[in-house]
Amino acid sequence: QSALTQPRSVSGSPGQSVTISCNGTNTDVGAYNFVSWYQQFPGKAPKLLIFDVYKRPSGVPDRFSGSKSGTTASLTISGLEAEDEADYYCCSYAGVYSGIFGGGTKLAV
Amino acid sequence: EVQLVESGGGLVQPGGSLRLSCAASGFSFKNYWMTWVRQAPGKGLEWVANIKYDGNEKFYVTSVKGRFTISRDNAKNSLYLQLTNLRPEDTALYYCARTTTGATFFDSWGQGSLVTVSS
C-alpha cells in the first residue's frame, strides 16, 4: 500500500493560515474517520496533534484544526507562529488494525 | 507522566538479527495496545507493527511479515520487536508508541532506537 500523499512543503508568514492536504484512497482516508496528524521537530519524536479527523488532545492549541472530505484530509494551522515550523505527518487507519502515514510536509514560517 | 524508552539498536550486517526493547512507565501498560513505527534517515514515518493489550493478536506491515516479531511482557511493562533477516532498507529509527484499541492513533512516543543494517 502506498503512502498517503502530502505536499513536500508549505510556507506562510506569522499570523497567516496554512492548510496541509493528505490524499488517500477509498480503503484508508475515505473509508474511516480515523485520520490523525503529528508534528515533528528535527531530532525529536513525533507528537500527536489531531485524532479522529478533528479532535485535539488536551494541550494542543485550537489554532490546529483537522477536517476531511472524501479521500482527502486536511490540517489547518491558523495564526501561524515561528515555533510551528516543523514537519507534519498525516496517518490513516487502513483496516485490519494497520495504519498508513503520509510522506510528510515541511512547514516554513 | 507517560514514558517510553527504547533500547537495543545498533549496527548489524545484512541477514543479521536484533531485538529492540521499549520500557513503559506512567500508565497501565497491560491495558493498552502498542505499536512500532520506524523512520528511515531523512524520510517519513512508516507503521511497522501493532500488538493487542494481551499480546494475543499482532499485525504487521507487509514488508516485515515473516521477518519481524512484535511481543510484550505485561509483567515487566515492556514491548519488544525481534528483527531477523535484516535488509539495508530496514535501516531506520524505530519508535515505540502507545496506541488506542484498534490502533487508530498514537498518543505517546518514545525517543527511538537506531538500527543500521550495513556490511
pLDDT for A96 beyond 90: no
pLDDT in tens, A40-72: 999 999 999 999 999 999 999 999 999 999 999
As a whole number, mean pLDDT of residues B74-97 equals 98
- pLDDT for the residue numbered A34: 96
Q: Which residues of B fall within a CB distance of 8 Å from A101?
A: 37, 44-47
The sheet with strand B68-73 has its strands ordered as: B3-7, B18-25, B78-83, B68-73
pLDDT for B100 beyond 90: no
The answer to whether the Cβ–Cβ distance between B105 and A98 falls below 8 Å is no
As a whole number, mean pLDDT of residues A78-87 equals 97
pLDDT for A1 beyond 80: no
The CA distance from B94 to B92, in Å, is 6
**Chain B within 8 Å of A31 (Cβ-Cβ)?**
no
As a whole number, mean pLDDT of residues B58-71 equals 96
pLDDT in tens, A14-28: 999 999 999 999 999
- Provide the 8-state DSSP code for A104: -
- pLDDT for the residue numbered B101: 83
- Who's near A60: CB < 8 A, 6+ residues apart? A48, A49, A50
pLDDT for A2 beyond 90: no
The answer to whether the Cβ–Cβ distance between B109 and A34 falls below 8 Å is no
- pLDDT for the residue numbered A95: 86
The answer to whether the Cβ–Cβ distance between A46 and B104 falls below 8 Å is no
**Of A36, A97, A98, Cβ closest to residue B105:** A36
pLDDT for B35 beyond 90: yes
**Of A48, A93, A101, Cβ closest to residue B45:** A101
- pLDDT for the residue numbered B102: 81
Q: Which residues of A fall within a CB distance of 8 Å from B61?
A: 98
- Confidence band of B103 (pLDDT split at 50, 70, 90): confident
Q: Are B16 and B115 in contact (CB under 8 A)?
A: no
Q: Are A104 and B44 in contact (CB under 8 A)?
A: yes
- pLDDT for the residue numbered B63: 95
Kindly tell me the burial class for residue A82, based on how many C-beta atoms sit within 10 Å of its own C-beta (0-12, 13-18, 19 or more). exposed
